[in-house]
């Protein structure tokens, strides 16, 4: 449902000028009529005498023709004015409204915001600007196509519209970005509206027999505290939204001045990442994995490292920035290729290589082809590669697509492990239907293993479940002899952590191999 149309500044000027022109014409006609009365102009009598003197001219017929032409001219002018009005409405619709969602576009939204600010300044009110950005919407377009993606954007816009008051404005800025404008007579009006908007994240959308849930990040800026102009408030709400996206709390964030400083640092880091990508300024480290049954190193996990200005950038932060900037596929392919190349220098014939895959990379339509191509280029045996996916990769609504990709990987001979298992929201019922070979228990449980009976019970339960599903269990974060002994006692298959071995560079691993072989 299209929102009520609000006149733009140009339209208001044109209408005001038309009213002035009409007023001036009425005044001029009135003045001329008065002058005619004063001058006692006998126009009708003159016309009467003229027509009597020229009866052979057929003045009656001429007058009738002129009258009918005049009436026809008036009707023609009225119809053309109607056509012009319809044309103006059509042009305004295309210029000011988004053609997918039928919501005000960026230009018209900012025009509405400017008018709201003028009104708020005059009446002493507040204006709230809410910037909303859908999370991971590119995955929807890649999977279902842009046509159905547009339909989803339209439905989401309608739900936004019905979650606010009739006097408020919802606009679509571009892509998956929306803007909500609220006029507030009282600050207490804002909280219930934000709650209704936030609750939209719990509603599902039906698309191709799948139920999708759209998550979004949102930021709020309020006039006059966070800015006085439409541009300043839009920028402030955008910064708050970005902060919400980075923190991943699913909350609606209010703008603060400190957010701008964090955003600047983030932009600088994104710029540095782009430079690092161009120069391939990353390096790999490899952490050993121990079999608790044979007490032998059975594999290594490949870990990307990025050192910037002498400081190690946390891997989680690197991955997050790469996903937000769209570079995750490029980085993921580099990690896979580099790990497969390095492994040929230190990996023994009975050992496996674990490579982490992010959800965004896994959802790429040609992901399986990328894996197959990398294995072929480096002539690496597929059965020795273990792709480690986080639980978030499995909680997507596109379960059939996930299963098909995992089955294709299994057909290649590649093994798949679920990383950080136990802290996500994956459905245990799905695990039995997916070709997975290993569950990696998150280090949170391992760290509390010795002192917490509850965590021991959790790990023990996971191990029993894994045995029934023919899955192996690897515990992450082992940092003590006591932890390792207890994991062996409750039947854990494998372990990984600083007690077993810290991540090491390729050069260190190669030197150790040479030393152990006596070279």
Residue-wise pLDDT tens digits, 440-462: 888 888 887 777 788 788 788 88
Q: Measure CA 235 to chain center.
A: 17
Domains of the chain and any CATH numbers: 1-96 (no CATH), 106-255 (3.30.70.270), 270-517 (3.20.20.450)
Give per-residue pLDDT as tens, 338-393: 999 999 999 988 899 999 988 888 888 788 999 999 999 999 999 999 999 887 66
Give the Cα separation of 389 and 396 in Å (integer).
13
**Separation between Cα atoms, residue 63 and residue 51, nearest integer Å:** 10
CB under 8 Å to 176, separation ≥6 — which residues? 133, 134, 137, 153
At 139, list the tokens. 């995955």
Determine the 3-state secondary structure of 295 from DSSP: coil
DSSP class of residue 384?
G
pLDDT at residue 251 in the model? 79
Could you give phi then psi for residue 222, rounded to 5 degrees? -125, 130
What is the model's pTM?
Answer: 0.63
- The answer to whether 259 and 226 are in contact (CB under 8 A) is no
Closest CA to 487 of 439, 449, 517: 449
The alpha-carbon radius of gyration of the chain (Å, integer) is 36
Is residue 82 classed as helix, strand or coil in its secondary structure?
Answer: helix
Other Cβ atoms less than 10 A from the Cβ of 78: the count is: 10
Buried b (16+ CB within 10 A) or exposed e, 399-437: eebbeebbebbbeeebbbbbbbbbeeebeeeebeebebb
**In Å, what is the CA distance from 56 to each residue of 49, 51, 61, 65, 497?**
13, 9, 11, 16, 119
DSSP letter assigned to residue 427? -
Cα–Cα dist 262/251, whole Å? 18
Q: How far apart are the first and last CA of the chain?
A: 77
Q: Quick check: 415 and 388 in contact, CB under 8 A?
A: no
Q: How many CB atoms lie within 10 A of CB 447?
A: 18
Burial of 393 (0-12, 13-18, 19+ CB in 10 A): buried
Which residues, 6 or more positions from 37, have their beta carbon under 8 angstroms from its beta carbon? none
CA–CA distance, 103 with 156 (Å, rounded to integer): 11
Burial annotation 19-56 (CB, 10 A radius, 16+ → b, else e) = eeeeeeeeeeeeeeeeeeeeeeeeeeeeeeeeeeeeee
Identify the pLDDT of residue 42.
Answer: 65
Residue 320 has a pLDDT of 81
519 residues of the chain, pLDDT tens digit each: 455 555 566 666 776 777 787 788 888 888 877 877 776 666 666 666 766 666 665 656 667 777 777 788 777 777 777 777 777 666 666 667 777 777 888 888 888 899 999 999 999 899 999 999 988 787 777 777 788 888 888 888 899 988 888 889 898 888 888 999 999 988 888 989 999 998 888 888 887 777 778 888 899 999 999 989 999 999 999 989 988 887 766 678 899 888 877 778 888 888 898 888 888 889 999 999 999 989 999 999 999 999 888 888 888 888 888 887 888 888 989 999 999 999 999 998 889 999 998 888 888 878 899 999 999 999 999 999 999 988 766 665 556 778 888 899 999 999 999 887 765 545 555 677 788 888 888 888 888 777 778 878 878 888 888 888 888 889 899 999 999 998 888 888 999 999 999 999 999 998 887 776 655
pLDDT (0 to 100) of residue 20: 81
| CA dist., res. 494 & res. 368, Å (int) | 27
Residue 425 pLDDT: 46
Q: What is the pLDDT of residue 267?
A: 81
């Amino acid at each position: 449902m299209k929102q009520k149309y609000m006149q733009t500044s140009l339209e208001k000027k044109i209408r005001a000028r038309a009213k002035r022109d009409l007023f001036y014409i009425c005044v001029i006609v009135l003045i001329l009529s008065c002058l005619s009365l004063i001058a006692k102009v006998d126009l009708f009598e003159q016309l009467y005498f003229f027509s009597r003197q020229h009866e052979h001219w057929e003045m009656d017929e001429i007058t009738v023709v002129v009258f009918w032409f005049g009436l026809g001219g008036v009707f023609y002018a009225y119809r053309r004015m109607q056509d012009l009005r319809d044309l103006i409405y059509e042009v305004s619709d295309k210029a000011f409204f988004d053609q997918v969602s039928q919501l005000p576009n960026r230009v018209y939204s900012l025009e509405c915001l400017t008018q709201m600010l003028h009104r708020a300044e005059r009446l002493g009110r507040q204006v709230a600007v809410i910037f909303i950005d859908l999370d991971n919407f590119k995955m929807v377009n890649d999977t279902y196509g842009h046509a159905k993606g547009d339909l989803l954007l339209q439905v989401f816009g309608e739900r936004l519209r019905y979650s606010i008051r009739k006097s408020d404005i919802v606009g679509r800025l571009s892509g998956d970005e929306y803007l909500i404008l609220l006029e507030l007579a009282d600050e207490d009006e804002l909280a219930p509206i934000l709650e209704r908007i936030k609750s939209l994240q719990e509603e599902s959308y039906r698309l191709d027999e799948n139920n999708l849930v759209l998550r979004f990040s949102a930021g709020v800026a309020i006039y006059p505290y966070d800015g006085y102009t439409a541009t300043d408030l839009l920028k402030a709400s955008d910064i708050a939204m970005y902060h919400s996206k980075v923190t991943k709390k699913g909350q609606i964030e209010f703008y603060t001045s400190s957010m701008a400083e964090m955003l600047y640092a983030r932009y600088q880091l994104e710029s540095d990442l782009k430079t690092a990508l161009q120069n391939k300024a990353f390096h790999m480290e490899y952490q050993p994995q121990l079999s608790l049954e044979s007490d032998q190193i059975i594999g290594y996990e490949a870990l990307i490292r990025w050192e910037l200005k002498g400081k190690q950038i946390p891997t989680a932060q690197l991955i997050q920035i790469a996903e937000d900037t769209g570079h995750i596929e490029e980085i993921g392919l580099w990690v896979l290729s580099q790990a497969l190349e390095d492994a040929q220098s230190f990996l023994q014939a009975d050992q496996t290589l674990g490579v982490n895959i992010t959800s965004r990379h896994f959802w790429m339509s040609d992901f399986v082809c990328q894996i197959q191509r990398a294995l072929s280029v480096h002539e690496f045996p597929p059965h020795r590669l273990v792709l480690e996916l986080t639980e978030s990769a499995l909680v997507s609504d596109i379960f059939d697509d996930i299963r098909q990709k995992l089955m294709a990987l299994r057909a290649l001979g590649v093994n798949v492990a679920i990383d950080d298992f136990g802290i996500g929201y994956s459905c245990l019922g799905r695990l039995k239907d997916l070709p997975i070979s290993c569950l990696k228990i998150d280090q949170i449980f391992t760290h509390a293993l010795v002192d917490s009976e509850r965590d021991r019970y959790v790990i023990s339960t996971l191990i029993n479940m894994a045995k029934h599903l023919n899955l192996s269990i690897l515990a992450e974060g082992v940092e003590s002899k006591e932890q390792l002994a207890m994991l062996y006692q409750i039947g854990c298959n494998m372990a990984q952590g600083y007690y077993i071995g810290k991540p090491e560079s390729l050069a260190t691993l190669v030197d150790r191999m040479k030393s152990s072989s006596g070279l």
